[in-house]
Amino acid sequence: MRQPLIMGNWKLNGTKASVEALINGLKAPAAAAANVEVAVCPSVIFLGQVEQLTAGSAIKFGSQDADLHTAGAFTGENSPVMLKEFGCKYALVGHSERRTLHAETDAVVAAKYVAIQAAGLIPVLCIGETLEQFEANETNAVVEAQLKAVIDVAGIESFANAVVAYEPVWAIGTGKTATPEIAQTVHAHIRAYLAGFNAAVAAKVQVLYGGSMNAANAAELLAQTDIDGGLIGGASLKVEDFSTIIAAAAK
Ligand SMILES: O=C(CO)COP(=O)(O)O
């Protein structure tokens, strides 16, 4: 049985005041959903604050990215070792906004994934196709290639200590959610592809859905057999919406 994981990706949003209000507002809903793991991914600048605010609560947290180096002359980067020191449990890697806006290749994503695990963090490997690829029926090939790039470098066994997030690029921030049927089909394909390498690892790995998940559509998406949780952008910034999604995962 895979534990539901509801993770907020705050992206480039927040103030000290909004972070405090959000974390404090999520404490009770996270505690009430005992079978669900709740996590948030703030900008790194808020990590110290989030570490303090979440102390003693059920809320876990992670970063939105990590550098593939642990230390050195890499101006502007954040080392996975530093993220671990600040209490991160997770680090997103390969988010489509990183792949597109920061030209992160599959090779860079794989190297970051390895560095994240080496630092003792759990990578949340984000994969997904663009609208063009979706319309050309290339979804399966795209997610397979994105997974294979990591499997080749890190090995299939590494997925025993990783999370996969399927985020169709055309659904991110667009209000266009994949239907539960489309999402379930892709999630099942991801699991079957991983099972081709190692069935036991594939059965255990949590595969999250991301892309315009919200308070209204979460229950139906989360009810699908191979959808083990959500990676939520916009709707994770409001206590009420995110709490509704957490409660939906608890059912
Ligand atoms: O990119 C996402 C989460 O990582 C999804 O963002 P939205 O929920 O805002 O579509």
Confidence at residue 156, expressed as pLDDT on a 0 to 100 scale:
98
Count how many domains the chain has: 1
Query: Is the CB of residue 234 below 6 angstroms from any atom belonging to ligand 1?
Result: yes
- CA of 72 from ligand 1 middle (Å) equals 32
φ, ψ dihedrals at 219, nearest 5°: -60, -45
Q: What's the CATH number where 132 sits?
A: 3.20.20.70
For the residues 71-82, what does the mean pLDDT come to?
98
Reported as a pLDDT band with limits 50, 70 and 90, residue 176 is: confident
- With a cut of 90, say whether residue 169 has pLDDT above it: yes
What ipTM does this complex have?
0.99
Instruction: Residue 117: give the domain boundaries.
Output: 5-250
Count of alpha carbons within 13 angstroms of residue 35, beta-carbon side? 11
| Catalytic option among 97, 129, 167, 187 | 167
Q: At what angle do helices 16-32 and 239-250 cross, to 10 degrees?
A: 20
Reported as a pLDDT band with limits 50, 70 and 90, residue 1 is: confident
- The answer to whether 95 is a known catalytic residue is yes
